Amino acid sequence: MGSKKRKRKEERPTIHPKNKYSQKPPDFAQLASLYPSFQPFVYYSPHARPNIDWTDFNATRELTRVLLLHDYSLTWWIPDGQLCPTVPNRSNYIHWLEDLLSSDIIPHTISTRDKVRGFDIGTGANCIYPLLGASLLGWSFVGSDVTDVALEWAGRNVNSNPHISDLIEIRKVESHENTLSVEGLHYGESVHNGNNIDVSGNVIAEVSPVPSLPLDLHFRNDKNYRGPPILLGVVRDDEKFDFCMCNPPFFESLEEAGLNPKTSCGGSREEMVCPGGEKAFITRIIEDSAVLKHSFRWYTSMVGRKSNIKCLVSKLWAVGVTVVKTTEFVQGKTCRWGLAWSFLPPVQKKLPSSIPEKSNMSFMLEGLQRQHSAIHVLQAVESYFSLHGVPCTLNSSSFTVDVKASKDQCDSILKNEPPITDNSTQCEPKSATSDGSSYLNITSDKLPFRVSVFQQIPGTLLVKGSLQERNSPISGAFSLIFQKLEEALRSNFCREK
């Protein structure tokens, strides 16, 4: 009996430890007894927990309504046809942002007041992120959208919660067919007007559309975003934000959006679809961020397809970001990914002048999900070093990765710094701090070492690092780099306890 319980615990999906549902998922039976309007949607079976029909939009909408009321004291509703958010998954995004903002990765330089200020791109009729962020953490928000229905119901949802309504502004964005054009716009320019309109008693700022810049001519040949403004022309010249967040339109067509028959979360065309799908939409956010730069501490977006992350990260390095962070949001059977970046210089951590040398190091990766095997960890090791331009060789038969890093590449890894890239696939990392000094007081040479991965018990892997040349003049960097690798692998594979 104990082994069955242990197995269920190991297979439990990843959820942020601060999430209200991390230890105890919603109890549908309890909710049905407390909220009669939810009871008709709950069904019971002898051998399973109470559940709802996830293909029924009315059921998922009522679940969201009662969860927001029961657990967050929020009054909420959306009309038929609008996107219905899942509360646990959206909460994960909020708590990930909380972690980013409280970290010391980049300076705390944006907010002039104590309150954190965020920008929700396409807040939708549900306005879920501003409502959660304001109620949970006291953050203030600007939520932008383009459709009358979204603006009206976002305003209603804000005004239905007077205890936080002063923290949230709903901002109208004018749709424009020619937002792809970049003529007459230069980096650093922003255009807006000061018109205000009222919808459902809520003040909505109306801004004029402004075209934003493509990354380069190569992207013109790809599927480009051709919708209304996203950040440029919506964010005002004098505005500063701690972060932006976005649940982008994931799909290229309504047909593609309807391919999953197991769920029904609704969603209008504007919420679900854009030419080029999420890749084109997030690329436009990247383009806008390259102009706005320090107007935000963090730029973030949710990503629906893991296959898009590599391409988007490459575009981020191409526009000169200083930091890129990713995470995975898992709730039930749904997986989404978070992508964050910044143009602020990373906080530089001074290293001791004398670095202790270790030739062998190891750590355990525990709590891995069943789909993650030793080969997945090996591939993650290879990707980690390749991101910094470090040559490495993966041997899938011996479960090893051989790495040979230069002094400059060691500096890049220790500073969490992106490599300098050109139009080719090769890259050379930056090697000096802003004052011209190096993180490592060592001569130019190579640091060869091997990373090996061993299966221990199900859900647990042993990762070993062995220095191949102890006499290397930069051998002192090995232990520090291996610690960086450990942090990255734990972040990617290990569940919080």
Residue ranges at the known binding site for S-adenosyl-L-methionine = 90, 122, 145, 247
Query: What angle (nearest 5°) sits at the alpha carbon of residue 110, between those of residues 109 and 111?
Result: 110
* CA-closest candidate to residue 144, choices 72, 213, 238, 209: 209
**Beta bridge partner(s), residue 246:** 121
- Burial annotation 256-284 (CB, 10 A radius, 16+ → b, else e): ebeeeeeebbbbbebbbbbebbbbbbbbb
Known binding residues: 90, 122, 145, 247
Q: Which own/partner pairs from 251-258 qualify as long-range (CB within 8 Å, at least 24 positions apart)?
A: 251/277, 251/278, 252/223, 252/276, 252/277
* CA-closest candidate to residue 494, choices 461, 449, 467: 461
- What is the DSSP secondary structure assignment for residue 475, as one 8-state letter? G
Find out whether 368 and 494 touch, Cβ atoms under 8 Å.
Answer: yes
Distance (Å, rounded) from C-alpha 359 to C-alpha 388?
22
Find out whether 131 and 68 touch, Cβ atoms under 8 Å.
Answer: yes
Provide CB contacts within 8 A for 123, sequence distance 6+. 129, 130, 141, 143, 144, 145, 150, 154, 170
**Structure-token pair, residue 75:** 């009054």
E runs forming strands in 368-445: 392-395, 400-406, 419-421, 427-429
Q: Which amino acid is at 238?
A: D
Number of CB atoms found within 10 A of residue 482's CB: 22
Q: Indicate the helix (H) or strand (E) that contains 353.
A: none
**Structure-token pair, residue 423:** 């139009």
Distance (Å, rounded) from C-alpha 275 to C-alpha 356?
54
Phi-psi region of 267 (alpha: psi -120 to 50; beta: other; left: phi over 0): left
Q: Phi first, then psi: give them for residue 365, nearest 5 degrees.
A: -100, 110
Query: What angle (nearest 5°) sits at the alpha carbon of residue 418, between those of residues 412 and 422?
Result: 115
- Report in angstroms the alpha-carbon separations of 460 from 17, 364, 374, 421, 454: 20, 7, 9, 36, 9
